[in-house]
Structure 1
C-alpha cells in the first residue's frame, strides 16, 4: 500500500478551437493550473483546456455530501483542503456538471436508509444554496446547460442506494419529487444475483415513468441484462471500468460493455487506483478499451472524489481533468469523441430519460403495485 500511495496522491463536432465558446465568465476563470515538469510540451494541455471550455466534464460520481457531513465548517468558494472538491478546483478542472452521490453506510436499510438519504438530499440543497456563485441545482438536461451557460457547476442529486426505496414505490416517487435523479439497483431483494424480480421490473418501469435514471454499477450481470430488456431509457454505470484490464468486481466484462453500448447506456470510468490503476495512463487505457468495446457514445468520466478512494497523482482532485484529456489527445482521440466523453454522452442520457418519461406518462398512471402483489 505504501508503494501504491507513492504513485497516487446525438454526436456533435468539437469544431475549430478558435471558435469554441467559453462557458465560464471571464471574471470567474481560475488561474492556469500547474503544468508538471515531466511534460515540457504543454501544447496538448492547452488544447485540452480549449476543448473542455466548450465541452466541460460531466462527473458521474462525487462523494462530497457525505464528506462535508463530517466537517464542522467548510467554505467551498474560497477552497477547502479537507475535501477533494471545491469551486476553484471545479473551475480549474472545467467541471460543468456533477452527480452528487447520496452515500449509504454499510448495513443501512429500511427507515434508516430513507432517513440518511433524505438527510443528504437536504445537505446537497444547503451546500448549493450557500455557494450560489459557483453551484446550481439541476434536475434535467436543460437545467444543466443553463447552469453551465451561467458559469456555474450543475449539481444533480444522485446516485442513491436502492435501499432507500426499499419495497415501496411511493418512496421512489417522493424521492424523485425531492430531486433524486439516479438510483443504484443493488442491495435490495428485488435486484440481486438472480436479476430483477417482477417487483424489480415494476420499479424500473416506474423509474422510466418518472424520468429517474438507473445506475448499474455493482449490479449483478443478471440485473444488468434484465434492466436493459425492461427499461425504455438508457442506463448509467456511474463507477465502472474495464474488467479485462483490472479485475475489480464493479468493473464490467467486455460482453456487458458491448451490451451496454447496444442499449445506449454510458460506462463512466472512475479515476481511482483500485479500479483503473495508479497513473493517468492507466485511466486512459480503460477509456480506450471502453470506447473500443462499447463505442464512443457509451463512455464517460467519474471522478469518484471524496469517496475515500485513492487517485493517481496527476488526478488527485477535481482540477486534474485537463491532464487526462491531454493524455487522450496525445493518443489520437478526435475532439468530437472527447466532447462525447466529457459532456455529450451524459446529456444524451439525461434527454433520453426525460423523453421516455413524457411518453410513459401518457401510457400509464403511477404504479400501485406492491412487492407482495408481484413477488409474494
Structure 2
C-alpha cells in the first residue's frame, strides 16, 4: 500500500473514490444475490478470487505444512493431527467451501456469511465451534480492507480470506520455529495470534495517514490549492472505512472475553484483553485523525477566503487609484471651446503630472494605513 498514491496519499494503489465505488457495487451485488434466496444459500461473487487451500498441522514436537490441497486430503488430516489450521484464500469454489463445512460440521448460515462479503465484524457461538468475522487490510491493493472469517474448533482452526495475501507470515514463522510457545497451545491461542496480527497491521497504515495529514496541514496553510481537497476527502473516506472495521471489532473482542466458552480458555482471554486495548488505541487514533482532517477542510476554506480577500483588496485599491484619474480624464475630454487647458502649451504634461501626483498621494495614503501590505502565511513553528 504505497503512501504516494495520486489521490489518497496513504491508501492502496487505487484512488480512494474508486475503491469506495467498487465497495458499493460489490455490496449491491451481494444484496441482490441474497434477495429471494432461502437462508443458508451459498452463492459466490462472480468476481471472487480462485480458491487455494493451505493446511498447517502441528503439536509441540512436529510441524507440517502443505499447499494446494483438496477436500479429500483435508479429511485425511482430520484423523491424525493435533492442531489443524486450514487457510482458504479465495471464495470462488463454493463446492469446496460446502465440502469443508460438511467435514467440520459448520452450519449453513455460517457458510452463507463466509461468502457474503458485507458482514459486520461479529462473533457467533455454536455447539462445537466459534465463528468470528473480521476486517483486515487488503494486501493485494484491490481495496482498503477485506473480510476474513475464523472458525475456532476443539482441535482445528479454519480461516477464509477473500484473496491470497495476508499479514500472517510472522505467525506462520512462529509455528515453524521449534520450541515456540504457540506450538504447545490450542486453536484458541492460534486464533488470538491471528486476531492480534490483523489489529496490529492497522497501526503502520495509520502512521502513514498521520504523516500525510501533517503534510496536508502544511500545504493547506502555506499554499492552498483545489487538489488538496480531493486528497483530503480521500483520506476521510479511508479513515471512515477503517473506523467501520475497528469499531465493531471492539464489541467482538469484548464478547470473546466476557462470554463463557469452553473453546476459549481463560489463559487466552488474558491476551485477548491486550487485543481489546489495541483496538481502543486504534479507535482513538482514527477519531483524532478524522477530527484533524475535518478541521483541515475548514482551514482550507478559511485560507482560500483570506487569499480571495487579499486579491479583492488589491484590486479595490487599484480601482480606487484610477477613479480620480478617470474623473480628470473625463473632465478634460469634454472638448468645450472655452476650456483654457485645451489650448495651453503645457496642458498635456501638466495634466499627466497632476494625475501622477494624485495617484502618488493615494498610494502614500494607502501605504500609511497598511492596506498595501500583502499578508503572506508564516511558516508553522515547530512543536
* TM-score bin (small chain): under 0.3
Normalising to structure 1: TM-score of the pair?
A: 0.22
Q: Higher RCO, 1 or 2 (CA under 8 Å, sep at least 6)?
A: 1
More helix by share: 2
Higher Rg of the two aligned structures: 2
